[in-house]
Amino acid sequence: MSDPLETSGLVVVDKPSGMTSHDVVGRLRRYFRTKKVGHSGTLDPMATGVLVLGLERGTKYLAHMVADTKSYAATIRLGAATTTDDKEGEVLSRASAAHVTDEQIAEGIAALTGRIMQKPAAVSAIKINGRRAHELVREGVEVDIPARPVTVTRFDVLDTRREGDYVDLDVEVDCSSGTYIRSLARDLGAALGVGGHLTALRRTAVGPFSLADAYRLDDLEDNPRLSMSLDEALIRTYPVLEVTADEAAALALGKWLEPRGLKGVHAAVGPDGKAIALVKEKGKRLSTVFVARPATL
C-alpha cells in the first residue's frame, strides 16, 4: 500500500534575485502539478537564498514550523541612504564614508548586536490597517512602523572594501525571526552619520533548514522532488517522542494520551519511524497540536 503522504513535505528553494516568494509558489505549483503549495515567509525580490515551501499536507505544517532564527550573508554600503534601505530605492542622502574607521564600524555593529529595538524597514510586508507597508509606500503614503524588540546573536564583518566615498562591508548575521537586515544597514549608516543601505542579501538558513537542503528552480523544473518528507521535517524540527502503535493510532484520530512530563512540543513517532503528530502537554492531557497522518488519509 502506497504512503498517502508520499507527495507531502517541504521543498527548500534557493530563490534567485528578482523573483517574489509568490512567483516561486507559482513555479512549484506548475512543476509539481498541484495547487497545494505555500511558503513559510517572504523573501525580498532582491534577496536570494533559503525559501521554505510546503507541498500538499506540508502546507498545513508550515504554521507549526519552528524557525525562530535566521541567518544571512549581506553587503552593506556606507555613504548613502535610500528610500527602501537597499539598492533598489531612490537615494535620500549621500555623505562620504571615507573617514569612517574600522574601529568606529566595529563600535556601531556592537551597538546593533544583542537584544535591540529595531524599526522595521518601511518597505516591508508588515500590515498596517490591513495593507502591506510596501504597498502603501509605493502609493506615496507615509508609513511609520513602531520599533520592536529583535535579537541579533551574530553580526560579523568578513571583508571591508573602500572605494572613493563608499565603504562596502560583507557581513554575516544570525538573528531572530522578524529582524530586518536592511534596517541594520540603515541604522549602522545613521549611527556613523553617513547613511547606509544593502547592496546584496542572501538568506543562508531558516531555523534548521539551510542552503544544503535547497534546490535551484531549474533543477526542480527538470526533476521535481521534495527536499524532505513531512516525516523528516517534523523529526528535524522537534524533539522526538516515541509512541506505541496503539498510541500512534489514537493520535491519528486526534485523541489525547496520558501526560509524561514533557516540556514543549514534540514529534510523536511510531514504531515504523513515521511521524504521526505534533503533541504538547496541556494540563493532564498529552494533546495533538498538528496531526501529520490523520486516520482519514
Of 44, 85, 86, 231, the catalytic one is 44
Helix (H/G/I), strand (E/B), else coil: 246 = helix
Q: What is the mean pLDDT of the chain?
A: 91
* Mean pLDDT of the region 11-24: 94
pLDDT value at residue 130: 61
Region class of 235: left (phi > 0), else alpha (psi between -120 and 50), else beta:
alpha
Helix (H/G/I), strand (E/B), else coil: 83 = coil
| pLDDT tens digit sequence for 39-68 | 987 888 889 999 999 999 999 999 888 778
Phi, psi dihedral angles at 17 (to 5 degrees) = -70, 150
pLDDT band at 137 (very low <50, low <70, confident <90, very high): low
pLDDT value at residue 72: 98
CA dist list (Å): 4 to 60, 229, 242: 15, 12, 21
**Domains detected in the chain:** 9-67+207-228 (3.30.2350.10), 69-203 (3.30.2350.10), 238-291 (2.30.130.10)
pLDDT value at residue 279: 95
Output the nine-digit C-alpha cell for 54. 510546503
pLDDT value at residue 146: 81
Residue 14: how many CB atoms within 10 A of its CB? 18
| pLDDT tens digit sequence for 89-132 | 889 999 999 999 999 999 999 999 999 999 987 666 666 666 66
Of 148, 153, 70, 160, the C-alpha closest to 106 is 160
pLDDT value at residue 36: 95
Q: Model's pTM, two decimal places? A: 0.90
* Mean pLDDT of the region 275-283: 92
pLDDT value at residue 212: 96
pLDDT value at residue 68: 81
Q: Is 272 a catalytic residue?
A: no
